[in-house]
């Protein structure tokens, strides 16, 4: 079974937020990295197994309500990245069959889970670019994160994926 993974460096980068319990779950790190990766369309498939740590096999309880949103973000980003027109029903259907597993608690196939993790790894690189030092306070981290996110979303041309 595929699992959600994190670069080991990311655990160290968010150490202070984990220490003061602002990030109560390691999945919190995965969430912020994934959103950053999706926003900048930055995937990183070249991470070595030794540099990664397995976090969890399914969405934690506190993220269950966000499961559909996160999976739909992955589906949407994958469709747009591949240049598939939403009007092309066959291609969209084929892709959905590759990504969705109705019997999985994550709704994702192993292939989709792999893609999800690639965006997490890429998103960590994006966050390292956004933040010059390790975040120590959740409040200032959230404000800075939102500013960078807005900048990318309001100006998609700046995203890494768009530049490719």
> What is the nearest approach in angstroms of another protein to the Cβ of residue 8?
6
Binding to another protein in span 45-104, by CB under 8 A: 50-51, 65-69, 71-72, 93, 96-97, 100, 102-103
Beta strands in the chain (DSSP E): 4-7, 52-56
> What is the nearest approach in angstroms of another protein to the Cβ of residue 149?
10
- The answer to whether the Cα torsion of 53, 21, 62, 128 is positive or negative is negative
Which residue, 71, 61, 52, 56, is CA-closest to 26?
56
Backbone angles phi, psi at 139, to 5 degrees: -60, -50
Q: Does 142 bind another protein (CB under 8 A)?
A: yes
Binding to another protein in span 110-129, by CB under 8 A: none
> What is the nearest approach in angstroms of another protein to the Cβ of residue 43?
21
**Element containing residue 152 per DSSP (H, E):** helix 138-154
Please state, in angstroms and rounded to a whole number, the distance separating the CA atoms of residues 24 and 134. Answer: 17
Q: Side-chain half-sphere of 156: how many Cα atoms within 13 Å?
A: 7
Of 140, 155, 156, 162, the one binding another protein (CB under 8 A) is 140
> What is the nearest approach in angstroms of another protein to the Cβ of residue 164?
27
Residues near another protein (CB under 8 A) are 8-9, 11-12, 15, 50-51, 65-69, 71-72, 93, 96-97, 100, 102-103, 107, 139-140, 142-143, 146
């Amino acid at each position: 079974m595929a699992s959600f993974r994190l670069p080991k460096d990311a655990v160290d980068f968010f150490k202070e937020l984990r220490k003061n319990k602002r990030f109560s779950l390691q999945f919190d790190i995965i969430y912020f990295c994934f959103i950053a990766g999706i926003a900048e369309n930055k995937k990183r498939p070249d991470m070595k197994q030794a540099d990664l740590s397995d976090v969890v096999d399914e969405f934690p309880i506190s993220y269950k309500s966000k499961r559909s949103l996160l999976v739909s973000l992955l589906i949407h980003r994958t469709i747009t990245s591949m240049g598939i027109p939403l009007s092309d029903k066959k291609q969209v259907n084929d892709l959905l069959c590759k990504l969705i597993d109705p019997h999985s608690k994550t709704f994702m196939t192993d292939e989709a889970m792999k893609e999800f993790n690639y965006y997490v790894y890429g998103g960590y690189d994006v966050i390292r670019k956004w933040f010059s030092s390790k975040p120590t306070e959740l409040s200032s981290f959230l404000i800075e994160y939102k500013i960078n996110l807005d900048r990318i979303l309001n100006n998609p041309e700046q995203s890494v994926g768009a530049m490719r």
